[in-house]
Structures are given as structure tokens and as C-alpha cells.
Amino acid sequence: MNKNFTKIISAVLLLLLIASCNRELTLDSVHSSYLEVNNLQIHYKEYGHGEKTLIFVHGWGCDLNAWQYQFSHFKNQYRLVFIDLPGYGKSDKPNRQYTIDLFAESVLAVIDDLDIRKPLLIAHSMGLPVCIEVIKRLENNEAELCIVDGVYFSFPNDSIDYQSYKAGLNAFADMFKGEDYTQNVEQFAKGFITDTTPSAVRDYILSTMTQTPVYVGYSSMLSLIDDNNWSKEKLANRTIAIYARTAGLAPDNKNILMEQFPDLTYLEMKEVNHFLMMEKPDEFNKILKEFIDR
């Protein structure tokens, strides 16, 4: 009887082991690493091997899980690095100022710590000005950039137009403070959701963005709209921009970007919104793969 029982237990354990081995590896299950930057513990994940290193930088109110579909597609092709910016995800989030400079310093620290020589920076939304600053400080023309529906402000030269433009941005940023903060963030997040948004993507957007602490969200927004972070210095680095073709997209978006990124490949995806890399990952990943291999 004991022998039969032992055989049954062994068989069950073997089946569990096989099931575990066959279970697809997800970004969530990848080992976490931490690096201290400006007295903050920065959370990141590294996986895979290859000559090319892809560094994924999320946007406002998000975390590294925004790139879960890119992990599953590219995990066996390249070295992948996913970063939680300070104040977001599993990185430290004490009550302090959160700026584009701080975010860039954190990405640069991870690049230095992992000894990455020729990164491809993949920047979503607010991640764009962060990665612009990273590329400037790297002073490395071999670094490459993928813009994913990146936030991009072009401040007018005319003083009157400038004041009006700045006032509009300040009014927008003020939505992210005070008693109505949580309600306003929820409405802001819902603006990225349409009838065709997959339910898993919808759940990620609403659950993640609304968890952003007010002091993180507001100071991030203030830094994002600071014109000191939008100097339009030309960057010769090879760049691709992938935007959602929505009603709010500037008709001359490509020309605006080309002023700063002369070596630009520009594409627009249809029937998607701001989180296009999650909404249509197969299409997005194919575009990114073609840019990498070109």
C-alpha cells in the first residue's frame, strides 16, 4: 500500500513539474532587481541575451507591465530591460519631487550598471522626454529610439502665443492635485479607452493609473510641461515614431518630430488609442521588429 501511494505521489509531482516547465514565462514572473539612485531604490527587470538591448520606459501613471506583450514576443530574441521609473510600480515613491531629470538619471544608472553600449530606448508617452534626455547625456549616436505615441510639446516662439499655450498646460496640470485628484485621474485614464480596447488593457489602464500617488502624479506633470525639458536639440540617432491615428493627433506631427529627429521613420496605427502597444501588440511588435532588423 505504501509503495502504491509513493508511486501516485511521484506521478503527481512529475505532472506538476512538467506543467511548470511548459507554462509560458511572463514578465510578471521574471526576477526583480533594484538599484539605488538618489537615495531611491529603482526596480527593473532584465531578461534574455543578444547583441541588441531593448530598454522599455513607461509613461505617466504606468509601470513596466505596460510592456508585457513585448516581453512575450521578444524574450527569446534580444536582451530586454524593463524599468519602473521612480514613484511608479515597485520603485520607491517617498513624498518628494519627481522630474524628467530624476527619471533620466534612473534610466542612465541602469544602463551603466548593466554595461549597455548600444541601447534601443523604447519610450511610451511621458517616457519620450525622459529618453530624449537619456540620449543627450549618453552622447552616443549609436543609441536608437522608438517613440510610442510619445508626448511632445512644441512651445510657440511668439510671446503672446507662448503665454496662452503655457496657461493651457498649467490648467491641465492643475487637474492632478487637490481633492479631486483621484476622480480626475480616472477620467483622464478613461480618455484612453474606446469600445475596441481589449478588456485586459482597459483593466490595466484604470487600475494602474489611478494608483499613482498625488505627489508623484502632480510633480511628474509639472516637470513634463516645463519648457526647459523641450529644447529641441537635434538628435542624429536612428529613430522610429509609432503613433495612434486619432482625432487629436496633429496633422503635421511627422514634420514636427523631424525637426528634432532628422533620421526618422514615421508610422501611424489605425483603430488604436494611446496604449497601442497593448491594444494591437502583434502589429506593433512587427513594426518594431522590422525597424530593428533594418
Domain positions in the chain are 24-153+162-293
pLDDT level of residue 51 (50, 70, 90 thresholds): confident
DSSP 8-class letter at 236? -
DSSP 8-class letter at 31? P
Top pLDDT among 96 and 9 is at 96
The answer regarding whether domain 24-153+162-293 maps to CATH 3.40.50.720 reads no
Question: Cell numbers 498649467 correspond to what residue?
Answer: 170
Q: Is the pLDDT of residue 32 over 70?
A: yes
Nearest residue to 53 (alpha-carbon basis) of 127, 130, 144, 139: 144
Question: What are the C-alpha distances in Å from 270 to residues 73, 125, 196, 251?
Answer: 21, 17, 12, 14
Q: DSSP letter string over 132-197? A: HHHHHHHT-TT-EEEEES-------SSHHHHHHHHHHHHHHHGGGSSTTHHHHHHHHHHTT--TTS
Q: What is the pLDDT of residues 190-205, one digit of tens each?
A: 999 999 999 999 999 9
Q: Is the pLDDT of residue 213 over 70?
A: yes
Nearest residue to 169 (alpha-carbon basis) of 221, 217, 100, 124: 221
Q: What is the pLDDT of residues 108-154, one digit of tens each?
A: 999 999 999 999 999 999 999 999 999 999 988 899 999 999 999 99
Mean pLDDT (the chain) is: 92
pLDDT level of residue 156 (50, 70, 90 thresholds): very high
